Every structure is written in C-alpha cells, then in structure tokens.
Chains A and B, each alone.
Chain A
C-alpha cells in the first residue's frame, strides 16, 4: 500500500509527493471525523462547554483557579457552543492532524488516528488541541533557539489564558523543546529558562490555586477514590471497559513509539508522556493528540493513490454506519423538526440550591450560566482542589447508593452513614448517570428522594423535604404514572407528549417507548417501587 523512503536518499521531495493528494483528502478526513463526532451522545443543537468557566463549589472554602479568558465577555459567550459547531471545529482540527502526516504516516494509521481521536474527543479538548496544533505549526516556522523559546512562552501564555490543562501543555512543550535547546546551550538560553522558572515559582506562591491547577497532570496520583468519582481517570490497565476509541488511541501511541525508537537520529521526548495517558484515561486523548501532532519521522511515505482511495472510501463507510444511529436526530435538526426533544433542563424548574453529582464526570454539564445562577455543585471534577474531599464524598455517595442512612462502623474504625452529611451538605438535587441503573433503582427506593427528571444522560432526584422540588416532582410523577399504563382507558393511547427519553426524543406512543429501552427500564423500576 505504501512505499517508504529515507529522507536523505529520496529522489522525490515531500512537496512533490503531496501533489498526489488534493484538498479532497482533507475533506474526506474532515467528513469522517465530523460523522463520528456527531454520533456522540449529544443533540446537534445542545450546547457543550468548550471553555472551563465554572464557579465555586459548595464544599470548598478555598477558591479555584478559573480560566482568565472567561472573565472577558466576548470569550465568555463562546464558552458554550452548540454541539454541531463543536463537531465542525473539532473534526477540522483532527483532519488537520491527519493532513499533517500525509507524507509521514501510512494512510491506514492516519485513519485509525482520526477515528480514535474523533470517538474520544471531549468538548474541552477543542481548545487544548487548537493550542497544541498552533504551537507545533508555529514551532515549525522557527529555526533559531531564541525564537523557539519565544514560541514556547507564547504557547504557554495562551494555554494559561484558555485552559486549565496548561500544566500538561507546559510539560509537553518542555519535553519537546528542551532537549534540542540544550544542544544549542548559551548563557542567554540559560537565563531565559531561569527567568521562566522564577516566574513560575513567584506565580505559584502568589496564586496557590494556579499552582495546584498547573500540577493537575501529577496531582491526580494522590487523590483518593478518584476512580470511583471520575471513572475516566481510571487507567486502561485497570479499566475493564476499554472502548474502541481508547484502543485505537493506544495503537496510535504504539505506532508513534515504534516510529521514534526505530529512528536513528532523534528521540521524540514527549513520548515519555505515554504512561500518563495510559495510567490516567483523562489524559489519553490529549496525550495521543499531542504526541501524534508533534512527531516528525525522518522517513517519507509515498502512498499508492488507488488503494488509498479505497481505504478512504472504506473509512467513510465506517463513519456512515457509526453515524446512522443518529441520522434521524441530525436530519431533524437540519430540517428544524419542532418535535425533536431536548435534554431535561433543570434551569427551567423552580428548584434551586445545591446539586450533588453521583458522577463527577457530569460537572461540565452544569457550567451553563442559566444553571449556575440557580445551582451550586457540592463538588466537581477539579481534583486538584476538591480532591481532599473525594474520599468523604465517595463514602457519602456509596452510603446513599446502599441506603445506609445511619452510622455504622467501618473497617478503619471511622463511621459511615449518610445522614450526618446529608444534613450538613443539604443538597436539593441528586444527579446520577442514566446508565447506572443500580443507582437509579436504589435511589428510587429511598424515602428521601423523588425522581424529578430523566433523559439519556442524567437522572435527577430531588430531596423530598425541599419544598421547591414539589411542582417538578408532581409533574414527573404524573409522567411516570402515564408511562406505566400507556394504553389508557379502553385501549386508546392518550395523546400526550413527554420530554424525557433516549436522546431527548419525544415519546408519542407505545411503539416509541419500545424503541427507547434504557430510560424506560429506569422508569419501570421507579414505578414498580412505588407500588
């Protein structure tokens, strides 16, 4: 399929080989990535958070580092984007990565990378990816060490302004640049590095929350129970559920590792970040993207056009099949289908107060301004500050799941039981992942919680003693009662519409309830428990 040639002995330059490719290839990459991103569990017009803009959490007294750019209004308005815009931008970013390696990676590896990165990409990865890609492109233009150092400084400044993962960006940049810079060491360079170190130190002392945020890629190791609360932080080794995307990203990393160790001239030092990506799933995408975008093999590959076209067509077919599950949603969005439902929106409820997330991965869903005006999370996924409370929080969560209200002695001689914390923390809402049927079943049986809303992503319970939950509770109860006996009197299906279904779809009859088994299963559990 491909033929390799050494850079030194090549008769055709990479520029010449690139002529065999057209913009159409980029378009195919983009389309493939777009199809995969649109097939993720979000409605096309549902907003996603691309820029971290959260407020304080209820259980933490110290303040968290907030991305500075979010305080600038024009940027703040871009912090949440409709999913389709994110998908367009994200897929273009991934396509650019593929295009960058047209002459250095076999087309099959590029496609695997595009598929893996598209399947695993999260909204917050968009900004991080743009920064990293921009940094690499800017670096490619520079040859002088001083200029490279300037690019490094600029890249760092932008990442600090725009993302909480600037610590990862810093480590990556240093691994990428420092070994090369040390080969051209001069006193100016030494002074620059020293100055940067001093700035880092002073900033860390002045802003401790900034320092702890910078150390996120390291501090997760010491956070207790992080896997319970943030399953995405589990390693691929411990995680029993490895997705196709994860698998492909590991393959990509393996390929990059292979390429660099067989290279006789240089070693790509950012590969040292692979253990981080494998040990902490949260960083896997970032690790794979940054390593793939930065690596520059010294071998060129002349692709065979005919076979490559076949491979590209095959990948598009794969993307189409993957996307077909969501075709109706996307078409409904394009045709502005008024009946297409949305996710449950607690911002429209009369409830307000504290929210306890059973799955901290969902913290990002609660960052919209309308939700933040009414609700405060007890704790979120910022482990660098909230991590000290994770153990207590995980214990509280387990006790809620197991229905252990009252004190019981634990194996470390401490006391379990959720009643005390429930009183002290006073959450109004309790939100669990809709895939976690065990949690939903247990909470449905609890005398303290009543179901307020359910969609494919989250199931929301309200604290029964909280009066502000009552109207929504009644609404939910009538909905669930209706679903339990959908035939109505005389076998005539009541013509009512609901808004709590798989992918936010509206149920209009018994047939559509059959098509949406996951939430219905929860509903069945709930209503059965009420009998």
Chain B
C-alpha cells in the first residue's frame, strides 16, 4: 500500500470512529432514566454547608426529620436498647441486648436454642417510636432487612410489638427476633429515612448514605448552589400547586393512591397515621392555598412549632370571607380537639387525624349548640 492508500485508510477509520462516537453521544444506559432523587449520584453538597449561610435553620438537625435514622450504636439508640433488660413488656420474651465493641446484637434464648441478629440502624425520630433493623446481604449481594420485633413507644416509654408484625412470631431463624424483608422493601424503608441513598449495582452504599431527612432531601442536590455561593438557585418548590406540594411530603407520609379505594373513609382510624391522605380528603383542601406548610414549618422541630391555638384555621376562617364559615358549634378556640383530634389505632401509637371535618363522634357539641 502506498502513501495515498494509507492516508485513505486513516481517513476512513477516523470517519468511522467519529461517526460512531457521534451516534453514541449521550447514550449511556445509566443516566438515561431519571433516578429516584435519593439515589442520584451527583450534585450533592456537604450537608453541614447549608447551615453556614442559612442560619435560620440551624436547629434543623434536631427536628424529627433530621433524627429519623441513626446508627443502632448511637447514644440515643443504646440508651433505649438498654431498657430492654428492665422492660415489663419483654420480661418473659427471652430477649436481651449485647454490645460487642461497636456492634449491637439482639439475642433470643429459649429451650430450643439461641438466635441472634446484629442491629444496625435505629428508625424513627422518637416522637412516636423507634424501631431497629439489622441489615444483611442476600444471595444476590443486595441488602435485605430484618426488622426487630420490638419497638420502643414514646408515650408508653416501653417496648411493644413493632407495628405491622404478626402477634405470633414468624417461623424460621429470625422468627423470635423479627421479620425479614426483601431488598426492594429495604430500599423503600431507607429511602424515606435518608437524604441520600446511593445504590450501586443494586446494593445500598451505606458508607455514602446520608441519614435523616435533611435540606437536600426536599430541595434536591445543591452542589451548584453551594459552589456558586448562592448565585445558582434551583427552587424546585417554586411554582408548584398545592396538590404537588402535598404529594411531595406524601412520598413518605403516604398518598391516597397507595391504598385501596374502600380503605379511604372517615371511620378508618388507620388513616390518621397517613396525614396527607386525610388532608387531601378534607374540605379544607378545596382551597388551593392549603398545603402541609399552611400549618407546619418543616424546618423546625415539632415542639417549637406553634401548633396549638386557632391561627392555622383563621387564616381562612376569619369571619370575613363568605366561603369560609366560622365554627358551626360556636367555638372560638381549640378547633383541633374537635376537628383534628388525636386518634389511636391498633398499635400503641397516637396520631393527629388530618381529615379535617365535622366528626360524627363530636356531633353532640353541635347538638348542644342547637339546643
């Protein structure tokens, strides 16, 4: 082959390579589909950098959202686990906790033998309860979860059966200690208790997981915002309507579509646990202003939010607007106790019912007024 031939070969190869690369531009399989926001790999800022500028949310770490997941070996978790030894509810259950270095084990002993699981994480803010889980690799390398059978309840200050677990223990090794959940369910559990949950080849990357619901869980990864010192601001909450706003909170607090239609009725006390379902079924939600943030400030701990009084209701029901009447029972204070009382379901938990309505069990108040 002469020089001309080599030149033509070189050009032809170059053209083929260039065209192939051009045709393949941006065809990376990984990035084609949008990810679950917590599984996103890039664009995250260091969590604490938010508080450098946003001093108004300095106390966010102490909120229920911020503390909704922590290692089982944390001080708060260990303090509660140590109560198991003296727990009246677990006296005859054969359960004990053992600390081995940095690791915590739950051990069950009976005549049949001894079983143990390592507890890795403590779920829940402690406002209502805390539940522990152990994590273990399944045969595919992904992470499964053993949910501890016993949950600590705040208002009892004692342990009880974890919500959703059967009264009779499940068969198998974990039976006395908890229930084994598969990987998809494990991911769902962690996704609602973390800000960032990197998944690599189907496995949770615990070393880069950011625990608790922090700023970027709701506002999205803000690396660009931090790097540009605030010049770049992507306000993903600006311009969204009230349905979208509630739906975002409802990712974890549950949406109505997650339940069967027949489950959604005012007499179902189970719904009190899932606040957005009640709220979106309330007459108040007809107002396009009504969102979770109408009453709540998610940047503050619940204890610091001013949730008593009537200011939430009188934002609309102030007696001036024709469409928003005043209380039919003539009450001028404490709307919540009648229209949003705390409800207890089958578990020891108490939840504020967010299905705002004239309740059938409070009808006598109206009757008295009529008399």
Contact = CB atoms under 8 A, between A and B. Distances in A.
Interface in A371-430: 391, 394-395, 398, 402-416, 419-420
A18 interface: no
A510 to B, nearest CB: 22
6 tightest Cβ-Cβ pairs between the two chains A and B: A403-B184, A275-B19, A279-B23, A410-B34, A412-B34, A261-B9
Nearest to B182: A445
Given A262-B5, A406-B255, 5 more contacts: A235-B20, A261-B9, A404-B184, A411-B36, A411-B37
A51 B342 CA distance: 67
Given A262-B5, A264-B5, A257 B16 contact: yes
A445 B183 CA distance: 10
Interface in A443-476: 445
A353 B260 CA distance: 24
Nearest to A254: B13
Interface stretch (A150-158, A223-231, A497-505): A223-231
A261 B5 CA distance: 6
Nearest to B234: A413
B16 A409 contact: no
Interface in A204-257: 221, 224-225, 227-228, 234-235, 237-238, 257
Contacts of A407: 247, 250-251, 255, 257-258
A410 B36 contact: yes
Interface in B215-274: 220, 236, 247-248, 250-251, 254-255, 257-258
A258 B10 CA distance: 10
B33 A228 contact: yes
Interface of A: 221, 224-225, 227-228, 234-235, 237-238, 257-258, 261-262, 264, 267, 271-272, 274-276, 278-280, 391, 394-395, 398, 402-416, 419-420, 438, 441-442, 445
A234 B30 CA distance: 13
Contacts of A420: 257
Contact of B23 (A257, A276, A411, A442): A276
A406 B19 contact: no
Contact of B188 (A404, A409, A412, A419): A404
5 contacts: A228-B29, A235-B27, A409-B251, A410-B36, A411-B36
A340 B30 CA distance: 42
A405 B29 CA distance: 23
A278 B5 contact: no
A262 B9 contact: yes
A233 B5 CA distance: 33
B368 interface: no
A238 B24 CA distance: 8
Contacts of B191: 408
Contacts of B15: 272, 275
Interface string B174-192: 0000000010110110010
B258 A442 contact: no
Highest count of chain B CB atoms <10 Å: which of A395, A403, A411 = A411
Interface string B157-196: 0000000000000000000000000101101100100000
Contacts of A395: 33-34
B35 A410 contact: yes
B358 interface: no
Nearest to A258: B9
A442 B40 CA distance: 22
Contacts of A403: 182, 184-185, 188
B1 interface: yes
B295 interface: no
Contact of A438 (B24, B187, B202): B202
A262 B9 CA distance: 7
Contact of B28 (A238, A257, A264): A238
Contact of B33 (A238, A279, A280, A394): A394
Contacts of A274: 16
B258 A406 contact: yes
Nearest to B217: A409
- Chief secondary structure at chain B's binding surface: helix
Nearest to A401: B184
B5 A275 contact: no
A400 B29 CA distance: 18
B178 to A, nearest CB: 17
Contacts of B13: 257
B140 A438 contact: yes
B307 interface: no
Given A261-B8, A413-B236, A221 B184 contact: no
Nearest to A406: B258
Contacts of A257: 9, 12-13, 16
Contact of B19 (A224, A238, A279, A416): A279
Nearest to B25: A221
B23 A221 contact: yes
Highest count of chain B CB atoms <10 Å: which of A395, A402, A420, A438 = A402
A409 B247 CA distance: 9
Contacts of A410: 34-37
A402 B29 CA distance: 17
A258 B32 CA distance: 36
A423 to B, nearest CB: 9
B20 A279 contact: yes
B230 to A, nearest CB: 21
A276 B1 CA distance: 27
A227 to B, nearest CB: 5
Contacts of A261: 5, 8-9, 12
B184 A411 contact: no
A441 B140 contact: yes
A235 B24 contact: yes
Contact of A224 (B4, B28, B32): B32
Contact of B257 (A414, A419, A438): A419
B291 to A, nearest CB: 15
Contact of A262 (B1, B32, B35, B187): B1
B34 A414 contact: yes
A397 to B, nearest CB: 10
B23 A275 contact: yes
Contact of B29 (A227, A271, A280): A227
Contacts of B40: 411
Nearest to A279: B23
Given A225-B33, A407-B251, A408-B36, A237 B9 contact: no
Contacts of B257: 406-407, 419-420
Nearest to B259: A406
Nearest to B31: A411
Contacts of B248: 409
Contacts of A414: 34
A411 B188 CA distance: 16
B193 to A, nearest CB: 14
A418 to B, nearest CB: 12
B34 A442 contact: no
Contacts of B185: 403
Nearest to B250: A407
A416 B33 CA distance: 11
A461 to B, nearest CB: 16
B254 to A, nearest CB: 8
A481 to B, nearest CB: 18
B36 A409 contact: yes
Contacts of B29: 227-228, 234, 238
B258 A391 contact: no
B237 to A, nearest CB: 10
A395 B33 CA distance: 7
Given A227-B29, A394-B33, A406-B257, A278 B16 contact: yes
Given A258-B9, A275-B23, A408-B251, A445 B37 contact: no
